[in-house]
Amino acid sequence: MNTKNKVQLIGTVERPTVNRLETELLRATFNIETPSNYFNNAGMKTKGVFNHFCIAYGKLAENIDRHVIEGTEIAIEGILVRDESTNQTYVQVNDLLLLSKKSN
Protein backbone atom coordinates (compact mmCIF):
# COMPACT_ATOMS: atom_id res chain seq x y z
CA MET A 1 0.00 0.00 0.00
CA ASN A 2 1.34 3.41 -0.99
CA THR A 3 0.70 5.90 1.83
CA LYS A 4 0.79 9.61 1.06
CA ASN A 5 1.61 12.36 3.51
CA LYS A 6 0.12 15.70 2.47
CA VAL A 7 -1.20 18.67 4.44
CA GLN A 8 -3.05 21.69 3.06
CA LEU A 9 -4.04 24.55 5.38
CA ILE A 10 -5.50 28.00 5.01
CA GLY A 11 -5.30 30.24 8.02
CA THR A 12 -3.83 33.22 9.81
CA VAL A 13 -0.13 33.44 10.70
CA GLU A 14 0.93 33.84 14.32
CA ARG A 15 4.43 34.50 15.66
CA PRO A 16 6.55 34.26 12.48
CA THR A 17 10.28 33.98 13.24
CA VAL A 18 13.12 33.57 10.76
CA ASN A 19 16.65 32.60 11.74
CA ARG A 20 19.80 31.30 10.09
CA LEU A 21 20.97 27.80 10.94
CA GLU A 22 24.64 26.84 11.40
CA THR A 23 24.63 25.63 7.79
CA GLU A 24 23.63 29.16 6.66
CA LEU A 25 20.20 27.84 5.63
CA LEU A 26 17.26 30.08 6.61
CA ARG A 27 14.48 28.55 8.71
CA ALA A 28 11.09 30.15 9.36
CA THR A 29 8.86 28.95 12.18
CA PHE A 30 5.29 30.08 12.71
CA ASN A 31 1.84 28.93 13.75
CA ILE A 32 -1.20 28.91 11.50
CA GLU A 33 -4.52 29.44 13.24
CA THR A 34 -7.46 27.75 11.53
CA PRO A 35 -11.01 28.28 12.79
CA SER A 36 -13.28 25.28 12.45
CA ASN A 37 -16.72 23.91 13.27
CA TYR A 38 -16.76 20.33 14.51
CA PHE A 39 -18.83 17.90 16.60
CA ASN A 40 -17.57 17.29 20.14
CA ASN A 41 -17.78 14.00 22.06
CA ALA A 42 -21.34 14.81 23.15
CA GLY A 43 -22.42 15.26 19.52
CA MET A 44 -22.86 19.03 19.87
CA LYS A 45 -21.68 21.32 17.09
CA THR A 46 -18.79 23.36 18.43
CA LYS A 47 -16.68 26.25 17.15
CA GLY A 48 -12.99 25.95 17.74
CA VAL A 49 -9.64 27.28 16.69
CA PHE A 50 -6.72 24.99 15.92
CA ASN A 51 -3.06 26.01 15.92
CA HIS A 52 -0.62 24.22 13.63
CA PHE A 53 3.14 24.62 14.13
CA CYS A 54 4.94 25.04 10.79
CA ILE A 55 8.56 25.16 9.61
CA ALA A 56 9.82 26.36 6.22
CA TYR A 57 13.38 26.37 4.89
CA GLY A 58 15.44 28.17 2.24
CA LYS A 59 13.65 30.38 -0.29
CA LEU A 60 10.29 29.85 1.42
CA ALA A 61 11.78 31.11 4.69
CA GLU A 62 13.22 34.10 2.84
CA ASN A 63 9.80 34.93 1.35
CA ILE A 64 8.17 34.59 4.76
CA ASP A 65 10.76 36.98 6.20
CA ARG A 66 10.05 39.55 3.46
CA HIS A 67 6.27 39.32 3.07
CA VAL A 68 4.56 37.62 6.01
CA ILE A 69 3.67 39.38 9.25
CA GLU A 70 1.45 38.33 12.12
CA GLY A 71 -2.17 38.32 10.97
CA THR A 72 -1.40 37.53 7.32
CA GLU A 73 -3.71 34.95 5.75
CA ILE A 74 -1.82 32.25 3.84
CA ALA A 75 -2.39 28.87 2.24
CA ILE A 76 0.30 26.25 2.69
CA GLU A 77 1.01 22.78 1.42
CA GLY A 78 3.45 20.44 3.10
CA ILE A 79 3.95 17.20 4.97
CA LEU A 80 3.62 16.12 8.60
CA VAL A 81 6.96 15.49 10.27
CA ARG A 82 7.60 14.07 13.73
CA ASP A 83 10.74 15.24 15.51
CA GLU A 84 11.90 12.21 17.48
CA SER A 85 14.09 14.28 19.83
CA THR A 86 11.20 16.48 21.04
CA ASN A 87 8.29 14.16 20.23
CA GLN A 88 6.67 17.12 18.43
CA THR A 89 4.70 16.89 15.19
CA TYR A 90 4.80 19.85 12.82
CA VAL A 91 4.05 20.78 9.22
CA GLN A 92 7.09 21.08 6.98
CA VAL A 93 6.01 23.67 4.42
CA ASN A 94 6.77 22.88 0.76
CA ASP A 95 4.66 25.61 -0.87
CA LEU A 96 3.07 28.84 0.28
CA LEU A 97 0.51 31.23 -1.19
CA LEU A 98 0.00 34.70 0.27
CA LEU A 99 -3.76 35.37 0.37
CA SER A 100 -3.89 38.72 2.17
CA LYS A 101 -1.77 40.99 4.28
CA LYS A 102 -2.87 42.26 7.65
CA SER A 103 -4.21 45.78 7.29
CA ASN A 104 -2.71 48.36 9.65
3-state per-residue secondary structure call for 12-61: EEEEEEEEECCCCCEEEEEEEEEEEEEECCCCCEEEEEEEEEEEEEHHHH
Confirm whether 68 is domain-assigned.
yes
User: What is the helix (H) or strand (E) element at residue 99, kind and residue range?
Assistant: strand 88-100
Confirm whether 2 is domain-assigned.
no
Confirm whether 1 is domain-assigned.
no
For residues 74 and 10, the answer to whether their CB atoms sit within 8 Å is yes
Confirm whether 40 is domain-assigned.
yes
52-98 pLDDT tens trace: 999 999 999 999 999 999 999 999 999 999 999 999 999 999 999 99
Q: Which domain holds residue 94?
A: 7-100
The total number of structural domains that make up the chain: 1
Average pLDDT, the chain: 93
Q: What is the pLDDT, as a whole number, of residue 104?
A: 53
Model-level pTM? 0.86
CATH number, domain of 31, equals 2.40.50.140
* 4 — pLDDT class (breaks 50, 70, 90): confident
